[in-house]
Amino acid sequence: MEKPEVFVFCPAGWGHAAPRALSAPRRGGQGKGSSSGGTPAAPERPAPLSLQVGTNGVISTQDFPRETQYVDDDFPTDFPVIAPFLADLDTSGDRGNIYYRQDDSRDVSGSLRVGRASVRFQDVDLHAYIVGSDGRAYTAISGVPQPAARALLPLLPVGGLFAWLFALEEPGSENGFSITGAEFTQSLEVTFYPGGETVQVTQTAEGLGPDNYLSLRTHIQGEVPFLPENVTVHITPYKELYSYSSSAVTSSGQREYVVVAGTANQTLSYRLRQNVTFSGCPHVRPPARQQLSVARAFALFDGHEHVLRYALAARIGPARDDAENPVVSPCHDGSHACEAPARCQPGVGTEYTCECPAGYRPEGRGYVDECAEGLSQCGPFSVCLNVPGSFRCECRSGYQPAGDGQACVPLAPPSDPCEAGRHPCAPGDRARCLSRGDGRATCECLPGYTGDGIHCSDVDECAESPCHPAAICYNTPGSFSCRCRPGYAGDGFQCTYGERLTPCQHEQMYPREVPPLGDGHVPQCDEQGRYRPLQCHGNSGHCWCVDAAGQEIAGTRTAPGTTPPRCGSPEPTERPPSMCERWRQSLLEHYGGSPRGDQYVPQCDPSGDFTPLQCHGDSGYCWCVEQSGREIPGTRSEPGTTPPCLPSVAPPSVRPEPRPDVSPPTTGTFLLYAQGQQIGYLPLNGTRLHKEGARTLLSLHGSIVVGIDYDCRERMIYWTDVAGRTISRAGLEPGSEPETIISSGLMSPEGLAVDHLRRALFWTDSGLDRIERARLDGSERRVLFDSDLVNPRAIAVDPVRGNLYWTDWNREAPKIETSTVNGANRRVLVHTDIGLPNGLTFDPFSKLLCWADAGTKHLECTFPDGSGRRLVQNNLNYPFSIVSYANHFYHTDWRRDGVIAVNKETGSFTDEYLPEQRSHLYGITAVYPYCPGGKTHPNPIPWEFWWVLGV
């Protein structure tokens, strides 16, 4: 039966229970999918109340198939497989806890004398991995220089700390972490026999970090026996008694180990004393004594990766009787009377003798000076330094220890890799090599190229549209050029057109590539180059009337197969221009025929009257007017709402019945969120969450909906399903049925973004490590990126500027990247001070890219080029997805299982919605009654209007 969790108030760092299994993230490669072929797992879930012990790096970046990542019972044959302790090692199914901390510090310090050589620890890391279900503890130390790495093989107590901390608890017993918590200091002294070498180890746990990671520092100082190459060390199983007080734990013992070289072996031993001090909890009384039983213990050294590894399987239980635990020798429990540096040699029972170690003379006659008496055996280029009872050899300046630990060899002077041509940089026409002076080089891409200096690709400056809209951009390696189109004059950055082309002729000759003009419509012009009053779409069959500027006249569009509208300017004799038409024409002439997006142009109906609803360009601000065109006070609305000044359109007499599990939304701005097997609807009252109006919009049994986005032009919602491995869509009109548009070639589709201008769909696949693109019906599908991706998740698009953004929560190197919507000019925007960037949103109004990070707990924003980074909120819980609307952010949260509102300016939490059915919420999106930066219908817009809008 699982031990219940009991919480008491104790000093910081005191733990309430041993850690449980943690469902850790998985990394890319072949280990992504389930080995049994079942339903793929949903994205990473946080583990509440779980402990994660810190390390600070990854020994190996090698990927393993998921099957080999499991911790099997065939211990330790699996140990070399899981020993790299990858941060995304699969530990599902209560297989273990990953103890991981990612920073740039080093957790092992100190120095060591090995034989006659001195070694100082620099850039040394300690990693740990625990299988809590059966008390297994794996420890790895990387970066230890030779010959110290091999000599530390017998020093199993370094990893033995984790075995005691997380030992399998027998009934009524508690392991170390249950007693000490996350703040303690272990002091360990080990004396090796027969040489008498002594080493001190101090391991300090500094508490839990912001992400519930345990920080651990290890300091090693002293001397250990030298071990030659090609030897292995076998550790015999052992039992150890621990004595407990209110704030300290002590133990001592004698250990044996066998050094094997080929067919020869030698049994050696060492004595150890250890104590652990901590801030005791006054509400808990620890046991007086407990016994740690280590049934299996292994020590390995990987010379290829230079990694020292320990593995132990331990359980903690009550102290046994004397029949099971014989009398402990005074040499072992520290009760002997031998004075340092004399050694205690155990005898029969409690008998012992005191012996002087090598290098000392008995009866107080001092110690031997091996350096003065010529007994040092220090080699050439070395200096002999005498110490009590022994000596050590240190290399002179300009020399370093040889592999045997005794001789010294000259240091090779560092060469300049840039001059020698040994650098990995890209060719000189794309990158330059910068020497660091220590034999290493740094690579840097030249201007006009992007990359890491090793791989530099040409920047497609044309993707940023640097030229005038009436010019053609030509990309060249490292640069670009602009040239005005025929009929225009200028330098390509400023172009003016002469009288040879009218606006209609220009649009006819140079149609826009970006929707809605990219929908295939080519305007019809008369003999004078003016727009014909009647315009018809060559492919769809729609027809409509236009005014002199080519703008569609509202209410004139007819459906395919019906009689086209009657168009043409009324004869002056029939009706003179109305006030609305005269005012409109005057403003158009004042604007030069091409008003900007922030300039007002009156809207007139076919009879010349002001339309009751007037809007200010594409800003989203609208108001009602009276018959004379004057604004009616109090009717002006904010973006996202429409004042009720138009007569309502009568619904058809017969409507298709909606499916029972679909609840069509009302008008206005609202949020849609993914919650497992359903898509929820949450209306907004201004920017406040209208919680009473929340309901289920669409039920999708058997699905796990993750990514969600909205097409404002056709009022369609799109979503990804990681359970069904599909991408689907459905209309927001009553009776709409879900439609699967992509059902093959997916493994774990997560983030999704809709480009309403190009009629395109983008998504991330964290199983295949891809970013793909297709049309909104699923056709013309293609892969944009399938390299340098580990865990792609969120994705966002800026349709107006044609830019794509996505996150990758790779534990080793999380980042936010960008490219054009066609996959050009890929580059990293953010790669520092991020941890788990789950959510990403592009605000079309402020032009800011913002993200929510479940690792750093930050909500941050930046400009699309990566500059101007700003922190909005630094205390999020566990955000998953985020969307921007007006002056607020709305994000789903896995700790609260709800939707949280955050003010953009102040960063304060302003509102919260928690669904009655509590489960994780995934993607979230906002639905506007208009298209940001565009129109809600695919009407043709004169070409000149686009460039003044900044498109």
Q: Tell me the pLDDT tens digit for each residue of 599-623.
A: 777 888 888 888 888 887 777 778 8
Q: Residue 213 — very low, low, confident or very high, per pLDDT cuts 50/70/90?
A: low
Strand ranges in 436-585 using DSSP code E only, listed in sequence order = 441-445, 449-451, 456-458, 471-476, 479-484, 488-490, 495-497, 534-536, 543-545
Instruction: Give the domain ranges of the chain.
Output: 52-325, 417-458, 679-927
More confident position, 887 or 862: 862
Residues 6+ apart with CB under 8 A from 36: none
pLDDT value at residue 621: 77
More confident position, 187 or 412: 187
pLDDT value at residue 340: 65
pLDDT value at residue 934: 40
pLDDT value at residue 878: 93
- 334 backbone φψ class: left, alpha, beta (φ>0; ψ -120 to 50): left
Identify how many contiguous H helices and E strands the chain contains and give both numbers: 10, 59
The percent of residues above 90 in pLDDT, for the chain, comes to: 21
pLDDT value at residue 21: 30
- Phi, psi torsion values for 332, nearest 5 degrees: -90, -35
* Range 248-252 contact pairs with CB under 8 angstroms and sequence separation of 24 or more: 248/275, 248/276, 248/277, 248/278, 249/176, 249/179, 249/180, 249/275, 249/276, 249/278, 249/286, 250/274, 250/275, 250/276, 251/275, 251/292, 252/332, 252/333, 252/334
Q: Is the pLDDT of residue 664 over 60?
A: no
CATH homologous superfamily, domain 417-458: Laminin (2.10.25.10)
More confident position, 223 or 327: 223
Q: Is the pLDDT of residue 171 over 50?
A: yes
pLDDT value at residue 369: 67
Residue with tokens 């727009």, as numbered in its chain: 531
Q: Is the pLDDT of residue 163 over 80?
A: yes
Question: Which stretch of 128-132, 330-334, 774-778, 896-900 has the lowest confidence by average pLDDT?
Answer: 330-334
| 221 close to 111: Cβ distance less than 8 angstroms | yes
Is the pTM for the entire model greater than 0.85? no
Q: Is the pLDDT of residue 58 over 50?
A: no
More confident position, 856 or 497: 856
- Cα separations in angstroms, 942 against 507, 547, 712, 724: 7, 11, 21, 43
Q: Tell me the pLDDT tens digit for each residue of 315-362.
A: 899 887 544 455 566 765 666 777 666 777 777 767 788 877 666 666
- Cα separations in angstroms, 220 against 126, 318, 678: 12, 31, 56
Q: Is the pLDDT of residue 227 over 50?
A: yes
Q: Tell me the pLDDT tens digit for each residue of 258-303.
A: 989 888 888 888 988 999 998 877 666 778 889 999 988 888 888 7
Q: Is the pLDDT of residue 818 over 90?
A: yes
Residue with tokens 């299994």, as numbered in its chain: 21
Cα–Cα distance for residue pair 413/54, rounded to 1 Å: 37
pLDDT value at residue 494: 67
Q: Tell me the pLDDT tens digit for each residue of 727-755.
A: 999 998 776 788 999 999 998 899 999 99
CATH class belonging to 679-927: mainly beta
Highest mean pLDDT among 31-35, 595-599, 669-673, 927-931: 669-673
Cα–Cα distance for residue pair 762/751, rounded to 1 Å: 8
DSSP SS3 for 453: coil
Q: Report CA 252 to chain centroid distance, whole Å.
A: 45
Tokens representing residue 574 in the block: 């029939």
pLDDT value at residue 82: 37
DSSP SS3 for 177: helix
Question: Which stretch of 349-363, 720-734, 787-801 has the lowest confidence by average pLDDT?
Answer: 349-363
Could you check whether 417-458 and 679-927 share the same CATH topology?
A: no
CATH class belonging to 52-325: mainly beta
Highest mean pLDDT among 308-322, 538-552, 783-797: 783-797
Q: Is the pLDDT of residue 468 over 50?
A: yes
Say which amino acid occupies 171: P
Cα–Cα distance for residue pair 464/457, rounded to 1 Å: 16
Q: Residue 32 — very low, low, confident or very high, per pLDDT cuts 50/70/90?
A: very low
Q: What is the mean pLDDT of the chain?
A: 75
Q: Residue 702 — very low, low, confident or very high, per pLDDT cuts 50/70/90?
A: confident
Q: Is the pLDDT of residue 922 over 70?
A: yes
Residues 587/590/592/594 CA torsion (nearest 10 deg)? -30
Whether the link from the prior residue into 516 is cis, omega within 30° of 0, is yes
| 184 close to 195: Cβ distance less than 8 angstroms | no
| 782 close to 871: Cβ distance less than 8 angstroms | no
593: exposed, middle or buried (Cβ count in 10 Å: 0-12, 13-18, 19+): middle
